[in-house]
Amino acid sequence: MTEPPFISFKNIVKEFPNGTRAVDNVSLDIGNNEFFALLGPSGCGKTTLLRMLSGLEIPTSGAIWLGGQDITDWPAQQRPLNMVFQSYAVFPHMSVGDNVAYGLKIEGCPQAERKARVEQALAQVQLADKIDRMPHQLSGGQRQRVALARALILRPKVLLLDEPLSALDKRLREDMQLGLIHLRNEVGITFIMVTHDQEEAMSMASRLAVMDKGRIAQIGTPKQLYEYPGSRFVADFLGSINFFPGKVVSTEGKTVTVDTDVGRFINEADFAATAGQSVTVGVRPEMLDLDDATPDVNRLEGTAQETAYFGDYNLCLVRLANGQSIKVFVENDSEGRARLPQIGQAVKISWSATCGILLPD
């Protein structure tokens, strides 16, 4: 056997006094030095799971292990992990320096060392010149970096981030995504992030767990989850996707032929499909081509219903003969511009057998 996982949730259940089961029998291992994301819609239990790791909630049953120790009953104060709160929770009556020094002060760290470490922690988040400012004089992004420095200064084994970017505007969010990845590489500890934003989770995390209704739907790398989702929920939650429910007609190795309402499709399956089985064919909008040139498999015809311009790409809504509307992304390059249909125009859509996702029902 290899050594036990760094962080381990074992059959965690959390029931609140009002009877809701926020976390329903979750088991999850997280390795050392991972950037792990818990992703899911609001109310899926991801924040509750994070708070149980931090010690701010106590699980109803189950155990939490960290670095080979059972920490289930440890109070939040003793756990070697620190949290960056969604609202940042920067103490409003303390200066930036005092905020960052607070944890060290409680530890009883001598003043000279404290001062040096505060300066170092603030330099790490590019706030060295703001040490004497009060929180209300800072922008949202700066306040968040104060919260980061305040947590990292205690040299935790794990940094917990609760929706770290949700309160920032789009531009700042992109900067901060790269900033957090850089920071994690620099300090070399485990980061665990909770988010409802799939782009955020995929771009930052090395591995992520998608949660739904208190359970884990799937765990994997962003690429695994996006390209090989195990369920309709995961496929739908990560990115956009078009679904065509149908039945397996025949299988030949990995290649599966499926009959659906809108036609016969050929797809590769990563599970053993049997003839007659109910399945769903999923195709992401960027995999669809508005082109006649592709091979004669997986074709659809319809009329362009609406288009929306996003700058780098166009979203085209195509209405099929059975009334279903599907999404097609058309890149805004020279070819894409020429292909973009007018509203009401008849269009032909195709995709190759390796680009679709076959999901068992």
Q: Which of 85, 228, 243, 313 binds other proteins (CB under 8 A)?
A: 85
For the residues of 259-314, what is the DSSP string, one character each? EETTEEEEEE-SS---TT-EEEEEE-GGG-B--S-S-SSSEEEEEEEEEEE-SSEE
Q: Which residues of 75-106 are buried (b: 16+ CB within 10 A; e: fewer)?
A: eeeebebbbbbbebebeeebbbbbbbbbbbee
Q: Are 144 and 193 in contact, with CB atoms under 8 Å apart?
A: no
Rounded-to-integer distance, Cα 128 and Cα 112, Å: 17
Binding status of residue 260 toward other proteins by CB under 8 A:
no
Binding status of residue 134 toward other proteins by CB under 8 A:
yes
Binding status of residue 91 toward other proteins by CB under 8 A:
yes
Write each residue from 32 to 61 as x if it is in contact with other proteins (CB under 8 A), else as -, in one continuous string. ----------------------xxx-----
- Only one of the segments 144-152, 200-208, 242-250, 282-290 lies at the binding site for other proteins (rule: CB under 8 A); that segment is 144-152
Name the residue nearer to other proteins (CB basis): 133 or 299.
133
Binding status of residue 16 toward other proteins by CB under 8 A:
no
Binding status of residue 167 toward other proteins by CB under 8 A:
no
188-207 binders of other proteins (CB under 8 A): none
Question: Which residues pair with residue 69 across a beta bridge?
Answer: 66
How many beta carbons lie within 10 A of that of residue 32, not counting itself?
Answer: 14
Binding status of residue 82 toward other proteins by CB under 8 A:
yes
Binding status of residue 102 toward other proteins by CB under 8 A:
yes
275: CB partners within 8 A, 6+ apart: 248, 249, 250, 251
- Edge-to-edge order in the sheet of strand 35-39: 81-84, 158-162, 190-195, 35-39, 207-212, 215-220
Closest Cα partner for 149 from 79, 102, 94, 92? 102
Q: Are 242 and 315 in contact, with CB atoms under 8 Å apart?
A: no
Binding status of residue 271 toward other proteins by CB under 8 A:
no
Q: Are 297 and 352 in contact, with CB atoms under 8 Å apart?
A: yes
Q: Are 147 and 90 in contact, with CB atoms under 8 Å apart?
A: yes
- Only one of the segments 102-110, 199-207, 270-278, 298-306 lies at the binding site for other proteins (rule: CB under 8 A); that segment is 102-110
- Only one of the segments 71-79, 122-130, 168-176, 348-356 lies at the binding site for other proteins (rule: CB under 8 A); that segment is 71-79
Nearest approach in angstroms of CB 66 to other proteins is 15
Binding status of residue 107 toward other proteins by CB under 8 A:
yes
Q: Which of 117, 150, 232, 284 binds other proteins (CB under 8 A)?
A: 150
Question: Which residues pair with residue 317 across a beta bridge?
Answer: 306, 327
Nearest approach in angstroms of CB 259 to other proteins is 53
Binding status of residue 140 toward other proteins by CB under 8 A:
no
Binding status of residue 223 toward other proteins by CB under 8 A:
no
Nearest approach in angstroms of CB 177 to other proteins is 22
Nearest approach in angstroms of CB 105 to other proteins is 9
What SS3 class is residue 28? strand
- Only one of the segments 7-15, 84-92, 233-241, 302-310 lies at the binding site for other proteins (rule: CB under 8 A); that segment is 84-92
Binding status of residue 164 toward other proteins by CB under 8 A:
no
For the four alpha carbons of 64, 67, 71 and 74, in that order, the dihedral sign comes to negative
Name the residue nearer to other proteins (CB basis): 59 or 222.
59
- Provide the binding-site residues for other proteins, judged by CB under 8 A: 54-56, 75-77, 82-83, 85-87, 89, 91-93, 102-103, 106-107, 134, 136-137, 147, 150-151, 154
